[in-house]
Structure 1
Amino acid sequence: MFPLFFDPTFVLLIPAVILAFWAQMKVKTAYSEYSRVLSRKGISGAQAARALLDQFGMYNVPIQRVAGNLTDHYDPRDRTLHLSEGVFNSTSIAAIGVAAHEVGHAVQHQKNYAPLKFRNAVVPVVGVGSSLAFPLFFLGLLFRGPLLMDIGILLFVGVIIFHLVTLPVEFDASTRAVKLLGDTGILGSDEITGAKAVLNAAALTYVAAAVMAFAQLARLLFLRGMFGHRD
């Protein structure tokens, strides 16, 4: 039997790795390009987010600065919108697009958007499952324990479900963001093109993550078929 961590099944991951690398390059390129293009109205990402939140009466949703680059997120647990240092004070088209995307998540939360509710509900379970899936599977592989391998695969299926439900959540948030920016006039029609480019590139990273998860599942199933029988 080949070594567990240097086996031919890694070839199944190569297309997903290439896609993930390409997606990261796309988002970095788009964000870098439109971070240098300032919006004509000159409002910051935080100001844009505040204006959009107020459009929906979400005056009680605070906006906080968070450290890091592209670490922006909306936390449904405390209904707080977090904007990274490069977005909070920036008046660029990229910053406003990213801020509007996070507002899109806040709007989803307010409107009880079903995929978001489901994702929020499964996050704790998926977190535990993702941390146990590979150790259990490879323990089963090492000791010829098909039951452990099957449990690992089942846990990893939960990760797949999480990635699948994340796609509509993220795409919907971007769609809402673009519409809000156009409806409110925060960005002009030509500026929205740049915001779309940034958000579309970011969406590719979620697609790449889903593809990687499926490739990992294929690898586990392949190994299960080859070595999942007791001697």
Structure 2
Amino acid sequence: MIYPYFYFDPTYILVLIGVIICLIASASMNATFNKYSKVRSYSGMTGREAAERVLQSAGIYDVRVEHVSGNLTDHFDPRSKVLRLSDATYGSQSVAAIGVAAHECGHAIQHARGYAPLSFRSALVPVANFGSTIAWPLILLGFLFSGETSAFLLNLGILAFSLAVLFQIVTLPVEFNASRRAMQVLGDTGMLYGDELSAARKVLTAAALTYVAGAASAILQLLRIVLLANRRND
């Protein structure tokens, strides 16, 4: 009876579903970005130039645009007010690069405008990091002990893991809103035209779906932990 519990636990299917969802989303993102990274924009602007123009059009002059190594490691750091663009974005003149650069500018605009979900997500970062760090040790200890101690540790571990899941969920409106802001500015300023806007939207949609997949995977993992904890308590 020990082998089926450890090796044929039906809750593993939840983990498998999460992994598959994330792999599909990641593959779609890479394929979409690679496709439109080969399409040069009519304006000939680089990702850096596009980012600077988007920031200026939003009246933001205190955010620096810098290069960061890596592939699609683009991000906005609100603490130092630096927008960092990756190798595939910074000097590229592609539609994909301009779309990604504008998206990161969307986060800078959110920060400048005091966008509530972004502020909430930023406040959650230390809590979520702490929760994800202690969650599994607590859960594993919960399965090693028995009785009330086991239930207490498992519930504490589930609560800690829930904080990390909450961060994933809160990230979704932040990312979608940043993309919406990016598309609006790109269209209003004429940096992209017609089919280019459609291509950039496809890139940003594919990127957003990776966050959706990550949140779905985290929720499935949380559900699995809850099911295992309930089984243990029974």
Q: TM-score range by the shorter chain?
A: over 0.9
Give 1:146 shift. Answer: 1.4
* 3-state SS of paired residue (1:57): coil
Q: Aligned with 2:67: secondary structure? A: strand
Residues 7, 154 of structure 1: alpha-carbon distance in 2 compared, 3 angstrom cutoff: farther
Distance 1:80 1:2, change over 3 A: farther
Task: State whether structure 2 residue 214 is matched by structure 1 residue 212.
Answer: no
Amino acid at match of 1:223: L
* In structure 2, distance between residues paired with 1:224 and 1:60: 49
Q: 1:96 aligns with which of 82, 98, 110?
A: 98
Residue 32 of structure 1: how far off its partner (Å)? 0.3
* Residue from 58, 61, 64 that aligns with 1:62: 64
> Which shifted more, 3-12 or 135-144?
3-12
Aligned with 2:178 (options 173, 187, 197): 173
1:151 to 147, 156, 166: 156
Give TM-score, length-normalised by structure 1.
0.96
Specify the SS of the correspondent of 2:84.
Answer: strand
Between 1:74-83 and 1:10-19, the stretch displaced more is 10-19
AA partner of residue 61 (structure 2): Y
> What's 1:84 paired with?
86
Are the counterparts in 2 of residues 140 and 146 from structure 1 also a CA contact under 8 Å? Answer: yes
The whole-number CA distance in structure 2 between the counterparts of 1:17 and 1:34 is 26
For residues 181-208 of structure 1, what are the alpha-carbon distances to aligned partners after superposition, in whole Å with 9 as ceiling and x for unaligned?
0000000021011101100000110000
1:1-231 residue pairs with structure 2 within 5 A?
1=2, 6=7, 8=9, 9-144=11-146, 145-228=150-233
RMSD over aligned Cα atoms: 1.4
Asked if structure 2 preserves the Cα contact closer than 8 Å seen for 1:141 and 1:228, the reply is no
Asked if 2 retains the 8 angstrom alpha-carbon contact of 1:149 and 1:228, the reply is: no
Q: Give, as a single letter, the amino acid of the residue that structure 2 aligns with 1:115.
A: P
| Aligned-partner Cα distance in 2 for 1:73–1:93 | 18
* Identical residues among aligned pairs (%): 48
Please, which runs of 5 or more residues in structure 1 have no aligned partner? none
Give the Å deviation of 1:107. 0.3
SS of 2:70's partner is coil
Q: 1:72 to 1:3 in 2, by over 3 A?
A: farther
Give 4+ residue runs of structure 1 displaced > 3 Å after superposition. Answer: 1-7
How many residue pairs are counted as aligned between the two chains? Answer: 229
Gaps of 5+ in 2: none
Q: Which moved more, 1:138-147 or 1:115-124?
A: 138-147
Label 1:113 to 1:146 Cα distance change in 2 as closer, same or farther (>3 A).
same
- The worse-fitting range, judged by mean Cα deviation, of 193-202 and 141-150 is 141-150
What letter matches 2:57 in structure 1? Answer: Q
| 1:179–1:36 Cα change, 3 Å | same
Provide the C-alpha distance between the structure 2 equivalents of 1:151 and 1:209, rounded to a whole number of angstroms: 23
Which amino acid in 1 is paired with 2:153? L
Query: How far is the alpha carbon of 1:85 from its aligned partner?
Result: 1.1
